[in-house]
């Protein structure tokens, strides 16, 4: 099983860095940004510096379709707030993309590629960083 973390619609520098720290902290080497703008885009050098220090790398895409086309995940979990339309993540064989909203919002169906699964890691509203951390813990272990 291979896990990819992709942060979508990120404008906050602290949020971008926290998501990257969680990703690299679980031993993943690649952090993916999709549709980065505002202060985060202007200070993306801070992310590259963090990646270098933690032995990671950064990929940046303009939209989700480009990331999916290049990275070719087998399954896409769009992590968000738990509600009646979301399903818990589960381990599967293949390449998993964890798509996290950078603004702590739920994904709209039109933002997601076909076949993406609206999901959550824990049935509590703990924000995207918390959902990502628990999802990685469940998929990769301690």
State pLDDT tens for residues 41-53.
999 999 999 999 9
Look up the CATH number of the domain holding residue 93. Answer: 3.40.1280.10
State pLDDT tens for residues 37-90.
999 999 999 999 999 999 999 999 999 999 999 999 999 999 988 888 899 999
Query: Based on the structure, what is the number of domains in the chain?
Result: 1
Distance CA 60, CA 62 (A): 7
Q: Which domain holds residue 37?
A: 2-140
Predicted confidence (pLDDT) at residue 13 exceeds the cutoff of 80? yes
Res 142: pLDDT: 58
Buried (b) or exposed (e) across 2-13, using 16+ Cβ within 10 A? ebbbbbbbbbeb
Res 19: pLDDT: 97
Q: What is the largest CA-CA distance in the chain?
A: 40
User: Considering the entire predicted model, what is its pTM?
Assistant: 0.93
């Amino acid at each position: 099983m291979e896990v990819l973390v992709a942060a979508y619609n990120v404008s906050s520098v602290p949020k971008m860095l926290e998501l990257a720290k969680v990703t690299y902290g679980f031993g993943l080497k690649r952090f993916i940004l999709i549709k980065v703008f505002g202060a985060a885009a202007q200070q993306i050098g801070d992310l590259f510096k963090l990646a270098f220090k933690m032995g990671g790398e950064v990929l940046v895409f303009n939209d989700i379709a480009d990331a999916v086309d290049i990275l070719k995940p087998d399954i896409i979990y769009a992590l968000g707030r738990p509600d009646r339309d979301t399903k818990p993540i589960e381990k599967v064989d293949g390449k998993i993309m964890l798509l996290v909203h950078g603004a702590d919002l739920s994904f709209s169906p039109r933002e997601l590629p076909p076949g993406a699964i609206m999901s959550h890691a824990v049935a509590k509203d703990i924000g995207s960083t918390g959902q990502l951390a628990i999802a990685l813990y469940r998929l990769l272990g301690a």
